[in-house]
Amino acid sequence: FLIWTRSPLPCKSVVCSVAITSYIFPRVYYYNIYLIFHLSFTIDYCEVTFLLQLKLYGDIEQLRQKPESALVLANHQSDVDWAVIVMLAQRQGAEGSDAGFRVMVKHVIHYVPLFGWYIFQHGYIYVRRFGEFLSAPVLKQLAWLDTIDEKFWLLVFPEGTRYSLKRKENILVSQEFCRRKGIPEFKNVLSPRAGGAFMALENLESLDAVYDVTIAYGQTRLPNRRGLAPNMFEFCCGSPAAKTLSVHVKRYPAEQLHKNSRKELQDWIIQAYYEKDKYVLATKSSSKSSFCILSSKISFLSS
C-alpha cells in the first residue's frame, strides 16, 4: 500500500478515469469516486504511515453494523477533527460511509478557489456566522441531501468554532452565553448552539440516527502543550502521545429527536456538552482515556 500511494501515477490514473466516467455516469457517481479516493488516500496514508492510534469507545458495535444516514454532533478543537470523523465513517459497514461524508461549514470557505466550489457540489452546507442569516441556501442543500439515493453523514460542530486556549475571545463569548442562561461555565469546550442541528433534524426525514461524538487528543496531556489540541502537522509528525486520540460515540435513533422543540434540543445539547467537558478534562489530566468509564445516555425528555 505504501509503495503504491507514494507514486504520483495512481493519483493521475484515477483522476483521468474519473474524468472519462463523467461523460457516462451521473454526476453523483463520479463525484463520489473522486471523494472516496481523495479521503481514503489522505486518511489511510496518514493513519498507516504515521502510526496513528485511534481508540474507540461507546456504541461502536452499533455504528459498525450497517451504513446509515446520520447527523454527527462533535466537539471542535482542531483542524484534525474532520479527519477523525472520516476515520470513524470508514469503519461503518463493510465498505464504510466516507463517500457520504458532508459538513456544515463556515460560508467563508465558499470563496476558496476550486475547493469551495467542489465541496458545495458534493453537498456541503454553508452557514453564515456573521451578518444576516440566510436560511434558504441551507434548506436547499438539506432538501438535496434528503433526495439522494445513498446514505450520508452530516457533521455539525455546535460550538461554531474551535475551542483553544489561544483564542480567548471565543472563551469569553462562551462564558457570557452561560451567564445569560444562568448555567455553569464550560471549561474544555465552548457553549453549543442548536440552530444548525435543529434545522437538520427538522428537514432531513431520511436520517436514521444522531451520533454524539466526543474527541480527545493524547497530545493535550503533554506538559508543554497545557491542554492544546494538535494541528494537522503536529498530529501526524509529533511524538507518539500526539498521535493517540480517543473517540467516544453515543448513538440515538433519529425518530426520538424529530419530536423535540428547538428549546428541548438546545437543553439536550447543553447537557451533552457538559459530558464532553468532563471527558476532555479527564483525558487531559490522566494517562488513560477517560472514556473507559462510560456514562448513561442523556434523555431527550425535558424535565
Distance CA(72)–CA(251), nearest Å, equals 9
Q: Residue 38 pLDDT more than 60?
A: no
Distance CA(57)–CA(53), nearest Å, equals 13
Report which of residues 37 and 78 the model is more confident about.
78
- What are the strands of the beta sheet with 244-253, ordered from one edge? 53-58, 244-253, 209-217, 70-74, 153-156, 101-106, 125-127
Q: The domain containing residue 100 runs over which residues?
A: 53-292
101 and 42 in a single domain? The answer is no
Tens of pLDDT, residues 142-174 = 999 999 888 999 999 999 999 998 999 999 999
> Residues 6 or more apart from 265 whose CB is under 8 A from it?
194, 197, 198, 201, 257
Residue 62 lies in a domain: yes
| pLDDT at residue 2, as a whole number | 33
154 and 184 in a single domain? The answer is yes
Per-residue exposure over 207-240, b if at least 16 CB sit within 10 Å of its own CB, e if not: bbbbbbbbbbbbbbbbeebebbbbeeebbbebee
Report which of residues 190 and 245 the model is more confident about.
190
33 and 83 in a single domain? The answer is no
Tens of pLDDT, residues 274-290 = 999 999 988 877 655 55
Tens of pLDDT, residues 108-121 = 776 677 767 767 77
DSSP reduced 3-state for 262: helix
Distance CA(175)–CA(159), nearest Å, equals 12
Average model confidence (pLDDT) for the chain? 79
* pLDDT-based confidence at residue 293 (cuts at 50, 70, 90): very low
Portion of the chain with pLDDT greater than 70, in percent: 72
Residue 151 lies in a domain: yes
List residues bridging with 209 in a β-sheet: 70, 253
Distance between start and end Cα atoms, the chain? 53
Residue 299 lies in a domain: no
Distance CA(62)–CA(68), nearest Å, equals 11
| pLDDT at residue 237, as a whole number | 77
**Grid coordinates of 140:** 436547499
Indicate the pTM of the whole model: 0.81
Tens of pLDDT, residues 61-82 = 999 999 999 999 999 999 889 8
CA atoms within 13 A on the CB side of 273: 28
Which of 49, 65, 87 is a domain's end point?
49
